[in-house]
Amino acid sequence: MTSPFPRLRIGRDQLLPNGTFAETQATFLQPDAATVAELDSLLRARNVGVVAHFYMDPELQGVLTACSWPQVYISDSLVMADRAVAMAQAGVRAILVAGVDFMSENVRAVLDAASFAHVPVYRLARDRIGCSLAEAAESSHYAAFLAQAAEHRPALHVVYINTALRQKASAQAVVPTITCTSSNVVHTILQAASQLPTASIWYGPDSYMGDNLLTLLDSLTKADLATVQAVHKDHTPASIAALLRRFHRFDQGHCIVHHLFGAQVVAQVQREHSDALITAHFEVPGEMFALAHAAQLQGRGMVGSTSNILDFILEHVRNAPNGTALQVVLGTEAGMITSIVRAVQSELRRLDRTTTVDIIFPVAADAVAQTGDASLPLVPGVSGGEGCSISGGCATCPYMKMNHLDGLIAVARAVGGEPQLVAGMAPQMDGGRIAGKTVVELGSIPILHMRALQKTGLLPQALLSDVLSR
């Protein structure tokens, strides 16, 4: 018999955890006041901005979200770069990035494009902070995938933003490329199909997201016109069917955390939480995607980005009758709980409601690991850092957890005092050249194409011309 999933009940002014894993999360959400005051004062004195990802270490997130310094922001990977620009406009001395390396690269590239090359960007660790998904785009298999795309002109490559700048540059050199996020990938592909009706579209490197896109597109071919046009106004079931015939996805890349939301997890969710709201990141395996997508069609689910998931939960908090006890299955990295708790409690206080929200973590109920440290003998997760499973561990990313509170404090101190101590903490922007351009220049092109799409809803003319002229 399986153990119950851990859960954290969020009330307006209290947290009630059930299970060791949930208890640990609740502890981090009530950080030491002296530590908060120290970091808050340090960031303010050094005039330093901090952008962090939703999947960050919960201890670090707990302290950051308790700071009053306004130049702190936690979000998904795309918004991190946008907020860094806003912080630079506000006059911060430097930007600290709590995330994996491609995130600090994106922040650096977007700041440069926005004419803030003079504002330094620093990582929080000296060691490389990798990502299993980003590394998939660096493989020989992905190079072969791009070479195949180049043989099917006209072609457009849609690459997940969670990849290194060098890989974006390498891809752009082979086939016209635009980046996407989990929140805009559906619109990006459908818009491309509308504006480039003869082009083949190649998506990578996230295989689960690619499979889920295929499933979604196939379902639209069987839907009525109104349903299809609610997703994208320019399409019909017939145009979606035509898109499917020229859509290709990479099949050898995945995130090690989302990889673990498989059939066994789904079976337990269906068995024990059939009435709950179901959320899932677009990167999860097909079983979890299907469960959340079916719930979404019924108005009680969300498949999308971390921001989409947070917005979905808050919408249900606002619309639920006062006193309702909501249950939400969190089908993504457990680090999101910090932002969910802060946002839900803020909304409940604003509305003056007694509604509660149970966040259900689809992981082992008592997931902890022994550290061998006498002062901190147990931590959430598994000792090898290999992610989680239904039988042990937790849905946390070992790469993200390479960022920690001590590192943030050390870098912030050095920025205003001894900047030479953080010289090696800047993003390692590749100084090489590809196809006659610098890696930074070429790798920024797909990002800028996406930013243009976000502003206008249309693929930029420069990208259209590139696709049709190669």
pLDDT per residue as tens digits for the range 239-276: 999 999 999 999 876 655 545 555 677 788 888 998 99
Q: Which of 323, 326, 291 is nearest to 312 (CA)?
A: 326
Q: Which CATH superfamily is domain 7-27+256-398 in?
A: NadA-like (3.40.50.10800)
Alpha-carbon 240 to chain mean position: 27
Q: What are phi and psi of 304, to 5 degrees?
A: 175, -150
H/E stretch holding 281: strand 277-281
Question: How is the chain split into domains, by residue range?
Answer: 7-27+256-398, 30-129+403-425, 132-254+432-469
pLDDT in the model for residue 293: 85
Looking at this protein, which amino acid is placed at residue 298? Answer: Q
Q: 3-class DSSP state for residue 468?
A: helix
DSSP letter (8 states) at residue 458: S
Query: DSSP string of 189-209?
Result: HHHHHHH-TT-EEEEES-HHH
pTM of the complete model? 0.74
Cis, peptide link before residue 380, omega less than 30° from 0: no
| Most confident residue range from 1-10, 146-155, 289-298, 438-447 | 146-155
Q: How far apart are the first and last CA of the chain?
A: 58
Specify the CATH architecture of the domain 30-129+403-425. Answer: 3-Layer(aba) Sandwich (3.40)
pLDDT-derived band at 395 (thresholds 50, 70, 90) equals: low
Lowest mean pLDDT among 143-147, 254-258, 314-318: 254-258
Looking at per-residue confidence, does 110 or 136 come out higher?
110
Residue 415: the pLDDT is 87
The more confident residue out of 61 and 128 is 61
